[in-house]
Amino acid sequence: MSDVQDLMSLPDDKIDMIAATSVLQQQAGDIRQNKPNWAPYVQSQMISQEDYNCVSALDKDKKSQAQYLHENPGQCAKTFLNLLSHVSKDQTIQYILVMIDDLLQEDRTRVQIFHEYAIKRKESVWAPFLNLLNRQDGFIVNMASRVVGKLACWGQELMPKSDLHFYLQWLKDQLTVAVSSRCILLVLTAWRCCLMACFLCFSLILTVLNSAARRCS
């Protein structure tokens, strides 16, 4: 019952955030279980052999991944940005974004790998991710926004004004959309709380009845 009371006592915006984060994390977990077959991409020359070797090395256990990333930081940034630019399949882009997000989440300083590569090549580290905000797939949009936020908050490089304006305007638009969907989310949350409360009450009644039955016998 305390869990229900705690949930009911949370501010509306906290409930929204918890629900959204939970769904995103669940989707990310499912996506991690479906590794892409990278071979057809290099065979069709959609990606280079260099990028294929890199993503194959990164798409292994955490220890091997960390070692390769430490030894080849520039190549890793290059490969990820190339993949986002040349791959169009939603499922593969989802997987790439989860890989990037996991790497950054494990070590915040890794954002500098992307920034330093972009500075060295005089390229935009923001463009590949900001472009994904226009996709139709909700998971891709949310994960791209999440990565942009980490690059901006955890890195030392400032986002160019034009990119920052675009990103803030996009966030504003999402908040506007969220207001209309918020009522639905709150109704579903309320129903969930009611069901949890009913279940707990029913369990309590069964416990009392079982106890009474044992006494009578």
pLDDT digits (tens, 9 = 90+) for 2-37: 443 443 344 444 444 454 567 788 889 899 999 999
140 vs 201, higher pLDDT: 140
Query: What pLDDT score does 191 carry?
Result: 43
16 burial via Cβ count (<10 Å: 0-12, 13-18, 19+): middle
Can you tell me the distance from the alpha carbon of 66 to that of 72, in angstroms, rounded to the nearest whole number? 10
| Per-residue pLDDT band at 58 (split at 50, 70, 90) | very high
161 burial via Cβ count (<10 Å: 0-12, 13-18, 19+): exposed
pTM of this structure: 0.73
pLDDT value at 208 more than 70:
no
| Residues 91-116: tens digit of each pLDDT | 999 999 999 999 999 999 999 999 99
CB 128 within 8 A of CB 120: no
- Residue 87 phi/psi, 5-degree rounding, is -95, 135
Q: What's the DSSP call for residue 108?
A: G
Can you tell me the distance from the alpha carbon of 54 to that of 48, in angstroms, rounded to the nearest whole number? 10
